[in-house]
Amino acid sequence: MAYEPTKVTVEVEGHRLRLSSLEKVMFPRTGTTKAQVLDYYARIAPAILPHLRDRAVTRIRFPHGVGDMQFFEKNIPAGTPAWIRRAGRDPVFPLIDDLAGLTYFANLNSLELHVHQWRYEGEGRDAVALNPDRLVIDLDPGPGTGLLECARVALIVRERLGRIGLETVPVTSGSKGLQLYAVLPGAHTSDEIRDTVQQLAQELTKAHPDLVVWKMAKELRPGKVFLDWSQNVAAKTTVCPYSLRGRDEPTVAAPRSWAEIEAGAEASGGRGLAQLRMDEVLARVEADGDLAESIT
């Protein structure tokens, strides 16, 4: 008998969606299935949707699960229902602002959701890209470093941004490092913000040359944390808080408390900061709400 993948039709917020291959293993190491991925995104929707709202969403799709082919997708794919909002001309991005849209793209094996630091006003071809409403600094650990060093650098960055009145929100990336976000009033262009963050990265490299580097060159990276200022470029994206990552295990870009970062900066002997899996993130949100609500 020929194998028939599981298919089921569901109604989500008044829209009928056909979900397929629910038994497909998306994370082989943990045996996590597509059904479990869909369940995660449904349960985390109240937390992730405000972070996605009005932002163009670039997806990383894993048609056969992690460890196989993957690809970035910016344009809205052929066959996307008309009720899903979209913005832009080339590319035409989807705007994911409800559970139905989130479910639709999760069903397309879009494990990772990446967004810009700016939002659209309006929708369709005439949508207007606004100035960024936040900045981001991605802390990327080089060879020989990890979350311990990232936590120490995060405290340095927090203090420096605090001097100019910015409150910083930490998010472990679900991959190797962590991101730091700060809300902006929308008064500056992406180019202006990029230049400011680049200058800050250069300043911190000069002040902490044994720990921080602002250039991407591989030969400069061992033993240091790269302050990636370039994610403030208008065309660049950063993984959305609460998005899954296409890693060996179903880890998540997870908002953290500063108490956790401070403890992580002091930890030793393997007891430090760690990336969080989707089950852990769901439990945290249920208990504590969205620790990154201030940047939505």
* Spacing of C-alpha 182 from chain mean position: 15
Whether residue 3 has pLDDT greater than 60: no
Q: How confident is the model at residue 270 (pLDDT cuts 50, 70, 90)?
A: low
Whether residue 120 has pLDDT greater than 90: yes
Whether residue 5 has pLDDT greater than 50: yes
Work out the mean pLDDT of the chain and round it to a whole number.
Answer: 96
pLDDT in tens, 132-189: 999 999 999 999 999 999 999 999 999 999 999 999 999 999 999 999 999 999 999 9
Lowest mean pLDDT among 94-98, 105-109, 163-167, 264-268: 264-268
Q: How confident is the model at residue 103 (pLDDT cuts 50, 70, 90)?
A: very high
Q: Which domains does the chain have, with CATH numbers?
A: 7-130 (3.90.920.10), 131-295 (3.30.70.3300)
By residue count, the chain amounts to 296
pLDDT in tens, 245-268: 999 999 999 999 999 999 999 976
What pLDDT is stored for residue 219 in this prediction?
84
Total Cβ atoms within 10 A of residue 209: 10
Three-state SS for 20-31 is: ECCCCEEECCCC
20, two tokens = 């397929």
Mean of the pLDDT values across residues 86-103? 97
Note whether 233 and 129 are within 8 A (CB): no
pLDDT in tens, 208-219: 999 999 997 888
Mean of the pLDDT values across residues 192-200? 98
What pLDDT is stored for residue 220 in this prediction?
83
What SS3 state is found at 259?
helix
Lowest mean pLDDT among 1-15, 82-96, 137-151: 1-15
What pLDDT is stored for residue 6 in this prediction?
79
Note whether 219 and 177 are within 8 A (CB): no
What pLDDT is stored for residue 1 in this prediction?
41
pLDDT in tens, 10-33: 999 999 999 999 999 999 999 999
Note whether 236 and 138 are within 8 A (CB): no
